[in-house]
Amino acid sequence: MMKRASLGLALLLSTAALPAAAADLVLYDALDFAGHVAEAFTKATGVTVDVVEPGSTGETLGKIAAEGDNPQFDILWVDGSAVFERLMADGAVQAIPADVANAAKFNDLGKALMPASMAFIPTGASTTAIEINTTKVAEADYPKSWADLTKFAGAVAAKDPNLSGPAYQWLAGFFQTNGIDAGKALLAEVLTNKELSGLGSGGKINKAVLTGDAKVGINQDSSIIAKQVAGEPVVAVYPSEGSVALPAGLGIGAKSQHMEAVAKFIAFVTSPEGQAAMQDGEDTDFFFIPVIEGVKPKAERPAMTFITLDDKAASEHEAEWKQWYKDSFVPM
Amino acid sequence: MRRNGSNGTKTALFQCDRRVRFLTTKSAAQLRRTILPRSVALWGSLALVDLAILAVFFLLIVLPLLSVLAQAVMPALFDPKAPGFGIDISALNHALFAPRVLRSILHSLELGAAVAVTATLTGGLFAAMTQRFALPLRAFYAPVPWLVFLTPGYLKAMAWVLLMAPGGYLAQLRVLPHWGSDAFFGLGGLVLVHTLSLFPLPAFIIGSALTGLGQDIEDAARLSGAGPWRIWLRINLPLLLPAIALSMIAIFAEVLSDFGLAATIGRSSGFGVLTYGIYAAASDYPVDFPLAGAQALVLLTLILLVTLGDRLLRRQGALRLISGRSKPSHRRELGAMARWSWAAVIVAIGILAIWLPLGVILVRALTATLGAGLQWSNFTFANFTETLSPRAMALPSLLRSFGYAGLTALIAATIALILAARLDRGGPNLRASVTGLALGTIAIPGIVLGFGYILVWNRLPGFRDWPFPHYGQASLLVTGYVASALPYGLIIILTAVGQLAPSLTDAARLHGHKAAARLVKVVLPLVLLSVISALLLTFIRTIFELPISQLLVPQTGSPVPPYVVRLLGHDDDGLASALALVCMVGAGGIAGLGWRLAQKHLNFTPKERLS
Amino acid sequence: MTAALICEGIEKHLGGKAILCALNLSVAAGEVVSLLGASGSGKTTLLRAIAGLTHPDHGTITLNGAQVFGPNRVIPPEKRQIGMVFQDYALWPHMTVLGNLAFALAPQRLPDAEAQARITHALEVTQLSPLRDRLPAALSGGQQQRVAIARCLASRPQLMLLDEPLSNLDSALREDLRSEMMNLVRREAITVVYVTHDQAEAMAVSDRIAVMRSGEIAQLDRPETLYNAPATPFVASFIGGFSLLHGHGARGMFQAGDAVLNLPAPAGPAVLVIRPEDAHPYGKYPATGLTGRVISAAYQGRCWRLSVSIAGCTIRLDWPCAAETGKDLQFSLPPDRCCILPFDDAPNPKDA
């Protein structure tokens, strides 16, 4: 009797330890500030959010891919624009309702980033720059363009686009500015050290550049600026070919049953309050380029030329280009 | 296979039927009336329970496995837009012969073979020295195999990365040159860390074989004038060969299905193996279904072959050695030189395998940054305060993990107990086949099982709308945990039930007790100690389970392992170390306490076979 | 006496091998019947079939008039009300002596007072009352055996099965415990089927003994009958340390090697059954004089036990004085004690 009672008690206890009912919204993300913003959102509106962070952008998208035509998220918040086109084509996200999108007060960059397909709504942006260790490379030798990277062949750190959303955005933009065949040839000349060209995250690029394993790196500019602000000897140089702006995009799950709460979340993120929450931290993603009218960036950047990515081409070639990169530059 | 018993009875009944028909004048209808009730009764009682067992195995293991494997040949099976059953070998062909896959197969085999040798050597040496010789400093090494066994691979890997990385502690202390660090990130480091984390397995297997050998054989050889080296080479070694082979096979399988090290050291050193290949293919966008399926197919085929080898060896009597019924051997005294030098070797293995990694994790948890190293100013309790602060993510994940693991342990142990009691009476064939199945399931990498769970419970019509368990919720994660823990529990409890004399339940039966009463009142109390060991083992393993946790993270929040790995990915290794330590201490404390209590109150006949 | 247990035409095959062949057995109420046989003779299978722990392929088992096993009826063991003392006693190690008895009685759902009375009685007659709160592990082998019997007694079974109940005990203890146990059983007038491989034990406890061989009953008789008139050479070889002298009968004489005995013998191969105690000085019975070579001699207190080789057979004899190894010994047998059986060529189970 005693034993049975204690067994029952143990069962009860462990059941109690399980979290209670699911929240109002399910958010999949791979952004540093998402959890913080969700918390602020819940505080402001009372709407609860389950924040699911499976890992990198790649891993998050992998989870969504495995979920197939039965996506479990209400909101997806990751870096990238092409990827949303693809998700829309696969039926994983639905178009942002016009009234929701129109309610946001975008600045010029924001307006430019808003896709015609309405596959996502931009909440901020970043771009890819060349990261330079100022103690290892003299200022006169700074590369000014992607083409200049040939001077650093074998000492360039780069991210695997298969693991990083921003890295794919960069690869697609790079092919757009430098041409696909010429671009492939250039990369083949530059990325000759597989130990440096298949890294998994911006943090690893920073580490490679800071330790001197690599002289320069191809990295998300917010990641470089975060290190710079932290006092590390690095600087971001924007290539003369022009930079593809990488929006942090927010998409709506194709099967979402909570459109009202989703609209509230989008309204909050594009409000000054939500934007403040997005800047309230020291990690990479907090250093984004604002796309909302009147929001000041957390750190100033040098002037750069933005080009607009051909999302359609980027989305169409995604599998092919990623595979090419993997086969060419990723060890294993 | 489960219906052997009833089929036998049925055949007998039909034979009887035929004979009776010749001998008597009863009508056929009468005969059917007299014979059928018995066969139906036997059939019914067997079939229902066995069907339930089959259904559990099918749902928990077979179906997810099939879903993963099927896509190797049906690339469109889980296509989001146009799913279909079209068979297309070309994708499999392409995937199988892609240089990347071939390389990862080669890597897996190379690593498995190397570690099989090194870990068996280390474990065998450890077992032989600690069991057969009186060595000093016993307290330093006696608990080592168990501690190592229960510490998850990725934590040990994390510790070693902290030590060996170019900016790690050993480089800071100027002990490790740059090339040493380079050598570590590759086959060398993986072999080192695998060896140090897997040597307990051969230590257990060879250790119990040594116990089974007994001292008599050795004494007889000594009386015939053989010296100690000769005894070991000519007597003990040949007799231990089956155990050694078993160890190597077990280690090989463990290495093949490992994900923890593959995802940490392997990933950062570009040493791709099959398990990580499956994970990478499954977490790509878009998912490369044929590639994931093909690699899973290769991995499972390899593991199946290894498991078959294991079964063959066991059938050839290796198990007889591991009976533990012989006279226990006493530990031999050695000269002072030999004593202390061997003790130093054993203690060194212990230090490398557990104390050093634990120490590194502790140091890292107590310091702010890795770069600032061991300077006084760098020491802080910040990581622990953040771990234990109720507002941060760490504490909730810790509580969740304990809850999930507790629940998993209870469910798995209960199912295992019922299965074991059922199987024990099912005849040797049924037992052997289910034990084989369970052993095979242990070898199924969690990464494959977890991927299969996503496919089944989120994609298959009928399952995806099923309310419980449901994808994205804790219920499915716990189901996955149960599936991966069940085989362990089953084997532990089956062994315990098998050691009960059958007369104990026969006696209860003759006195009129029904099956349920026999299970609860006779079997359960007598195997409770084993049930509790299974429970505690499951609890600890589940708390640190990585691949299934990673793939089935519930929407309500992550358990500890994926969170730790994510912290590592964000270079937040201080917090990761603190969280891992708190988790280990908590889980170890609970398990240790539970074990002590159980030992004290549930041990009826400590040494003898229960009868 | 009415039959408490009737087994008819019991057959059981396992893996193509016959374990029990068309076996019939009837046990009267209050009778103690032993199943005596070597291992593999089927005695334990028969016992388990009676208990219901295994099912025969054919045949019927009737218990006090009610069929418990037959072509259209299988009563599960838990409903047969059969008590069994297992070879290893099968005491539930996690229950005290009292707990073992109470748990055994529980399924009968007796009124508390009656259950209490039965337990008390069983503990008293087995002299276990002082040990009632001990766990089995804290009892000696003999005490454990008494608990097993008490547990059976308390349940008041229709039939009690004893499966080699003494084999786990020291030989010094065995005789005392055997008589103690049988006194109890007799006093409670329980019907018993007793399995053993020890003929002395079977002789001591049984009203009748069924000697089993390869799934058949070779002879079922009272112990004295078995001793005085074994039905077959096999039974003779299994009983009382008897020796068999192989020879053949012709013209009313028994001939083994050089020896010719003037005894009525069936024609053809035959054996002479020699009981050790029947050896008398040569010449006392002129018709049955035998000569053999002494192989060994061992002093046994009351007499010397000699092994004597005659016509290729080894014969054991009790002899009043020492005999020198290697020398010839002459002796004679009382003709009325001589038992000559036709030899059926089957191998001696003890040699097998």
- Give the DSSP per-residue string, B394-425: HHHHHHHHHHHHHHHHHHHHHHHHHHHHHHHT
Cα–Cα distance measured from residue A30 to residue A58, given in angstroms and rounded to the nearest whole number: 9
Burial of A240 (0-12, 13-18, 19+ CB in 10 A): middle
Q: Higher confidence at residue C124 or residue C240?
A: C124
Average pLDDT (C115-130) is 92
Interface of A with B in 219-278 (CB under 8 A): none
**Is residue C350's pLDDT more than 90?**
no
Cα dihedral B293, B299, B302, B306, rounded to 10, equals: -130
Cβ–Cβ below 8 Å for B501 and C88:
yes
A245 Cα to chain B: minimum distance (Å): 21
Query: Closest by alpha carbon to B12, among B46, B35, B41, B37?
Result: B35
Please tell me the predicted confidence (pLDDT) of residue A189: 93
Decide if C150 touches B, using CB distance below 8 A. Answer: no
Q: Higher confidence at residue C197 or residue B331?
A: C197
Please tell me the predicted confidence (pLDDT) of residue A202: 83
- pLDDT confidence bin for B368, thresholds 50/70/90: confident
Cα–Cα distance measured from residue B499 to residue B495, given in angstroms and rounded to the nearest whole number: 6
Cβ–Cβ below 8 Å for C77 and B510:
yes
Please tell me the predicted confidence (pLDDT) of residue C93: 87
- pLDDT confidence bin for B601, thresholds 50/70/90: confident
**Residue A84: closest C-alpha in chain B:** B285
**Is residue B111's pLDDT more than 60?**
yes
Tell me what percent of the residues of chain A surpass a pLDDT of 90: 52
CA distances from B140 to B330, B383, B528, B596 (A): 20, 29, 30, 20
In chain A, residues with a C-beta closer than 8 Å to the C-beta of B565 are 55
B122 Cα to chain A: minimum distance (Å): 29
- pLDDT confidence bin for A293, thresholds 50/70/90: very high
Average pLDDT over all residues of chain B: 79
B549 Cα to chain A: minimum distance (Å): 10
In chain B, residues with a C-beta closer than 8 Å to the C-beta of A211 are 166-167
In chain C, residues with a C-beta closer than 8 Å to the C-beta of B499 are none
- pLDDT confidence bin for C346, thresholds 50/70/90: low
Q: Higher confidence at residue A13 or residue B283?
A: B283
SS3 B315: helix
SS3 C194: strand
Contact residues for C128 (Cβ-Cβ < 8 A; gap 6+):
C97, C122, C143, C146, C147, C150
Cβ–Cβ below 8 Å for C81 and B20:
no
**Is residue A1's pLDDT more than 50?**
no
Cβ–Cβ below 8 Å for A72 and B270:
no
Cβ–Cβ below 8 Å for B503 and C88:
yes
**Is residue C81's pLDDT more than 70?**
yes
Please tell me the predicted confidence (pLDDT) of residue A119: 94
- pLDDT confidence bin for A263, thresholds 50/70/90: very high
- pLDDT confidence bin for B425, thresholds 50/70/90: low
SS3 A198: coil
**Is residue B20's pLDDT more than 70?**
no
**Is residue A16's pLDDT more than 90?**
no
Q: Do chains A and C touch (3 or more CB pairs under 8 A)?
A: no
pTM above 0.80, yes or no: no
Cβ–Cβ below 8 Å for C55 and B9:
yes
**Residue C89: closest C-alpha in chain B:** B611
Cβ–Cβ below 8 Å for B286 and A207:
no
Query: Closest by alpha carbon to B396, among B548, B546, B558?
Result: B558
Q: Which of B290-294, B474-478, C196-200, C318-322 has the lowest mean pLDDT?
A: B290-294
Decide if C16 touches B, using CB distance below 8 A. Answer: no
Please tell me the predicted confidence (pLDDT) of residue B3: 34
Q: What angle do CA B418, B420, B425 make, to 5 degrees?
A: 105
